[in-house]
Chain A
Amino acid sequence: MDLPYQQYFDAMPCYLTVQDRDFKVVTANRQFREAFGDYRGRYCYQVYKHRSEKCEVCPVEQTFRDGQVHSSEERVTCLDRTEVSVIVHTEAIRNEHGEITAVMEMSTNITDIKRLQHQLHDSQAHYRTLFEEVPCFISIQDRDLNIVDANRMHRETFGDFLGCKCYEIYKHRSEECFPCTVRETFEDHQVHIHEEVVTSHDGRPINVLVHTTPIVGASGAITQVMEMSADITAIRQLQTQLSSIGLLISSISHGIKGLLNGLNGGVYLVNKGLAAEDHTRVAKGWDIVQRNLARIRSMVLDILYYAKDREPDWTTLSAAAALCDVGEQMQEKGREQGVDVTIEADPQAGAFEGDEKAIRALLVNLAENSLDACRLDKKKPLHRVTLRAAGDGTHVRFDVEDNGIGMDRETREKAFSLFFSSKGSEGTGLGLFIANKIAAAHGGTIQIVSALDEGTRFTVVIPRVKTNVRHTPLAPEPTRDQPHD
Chain B
Amino acid sequence: MTDKKTVLIVDDDPDTVTYFSSLLEDNGYATVTAQNGADGIERVKQARPDLITLDVTMPETSGVRCYRDLRENDAWRTIPVIIITGVSGDFRTFISSRKHVPPPDGYLSKPVDAAELLELVRKLLPA
List residues of chain A with CB under 8 Å of any chain B CB.
253-258, 260-266, 268-269, 272, 284, 288, 291-292, 336
Contacts and interface: CB of A to CB of B under 8 A. Distances in A.
Given A258-B13, A288-B15, A292-B15, A264 B60 contact: no
B22 A268 contact: yes
16 contacts: A253-B86, A253-B88, A254-B57, A256-B86, A258-B16, A260-B111, A261-B19, A262-B13, A262-B15, A265-B15, A265-B16, A268-B23, A269-B19, A288-B18, A288-B19, A292-B15
Place the interface of chain B in its size category: 20 to 34
B122 to A, nearest CB: 17
Interface in B1-20: 13, 15-16, 18-20
Contacts of B119: none
Contacts of A261: 13, 15-16, 19, 86, 110-112
A244 to B, nearest CB: 21
Nearest to A292: B15
A291 B87 CA distance: 22
B86 A257 contact: yes
B110 A272 contact: no
A265 B110 contact: no
A272 B13 contact: no
Contacts of A257: 86, 88, 109-111
Given A260-B110, A272-B26, A336-B59, A265 B18 contact: yes
Given A265-B15, A265-B20, A292-B15, A254 B87 contact: yes
A268 B110 contact: no
Chain A interface mostly = helix
Interface in B56-79: 57, 59-60
Contact of B113 (A253, A256, A264, A272): A264
Nearest to A269: B22
Contacts of A255: 86
Given A254-B87, A264-B113, A272 B15 contact: no
Nearest to A264: B111
A347 B113 CA distance: 50
Given A260-B110, A261-B111, A268-B114, A291 B15 contact: yes
Interface string B79-118: 0000000111000000000000000000001111110000
Contacts of B15: 261-262, 265-266, 288, 291-292
Which of B15, B110, B112 has the most CB atoms of chain A within a 10 A radius of its CB? B15
Nearest to A281: B22
B18 A269 contact: yes
A256 B109 CA distance: 12
A284 B111 CA distance: 19
B22 to A, nearest CB: 6
Contact of A262 (B19, B23, B57, B87): B19
B86 A284 contact: no
Contacts of B20: 265
Nearest to B16: A261
B12 to A, nearest CB: 9
A253 B109 CA distance: 12
A440 B3 CA distance: 62
- Nearest 10 Cβ contacts at the A-B interface: A265-B19, A257-B86, A262-B15, A260-B111, A257-B110, A254-B86, A261-B110, A261-B111, A288-B15, A264-B111
A284 B18 contact: yes
A266 B88 CA distance: 23
A254 B58 CA distance: 12
A438 to B, nearest CB: 25
A209 B114 CA distance: 52
Interface string B14-46: 011011101100100000000000000000000
Given A261-B86, A264-B19, A268-B23, 17 more contacts: A253-B86, A254-B86, A257-B88, A257-B109, A258-B13, A258-B16, A258-B110, A261-B19, A261-B110, A264-B111, A264-B114, A265-B20, A268-B19, A288-B15, A288-B19, A292-B15, A336-B60
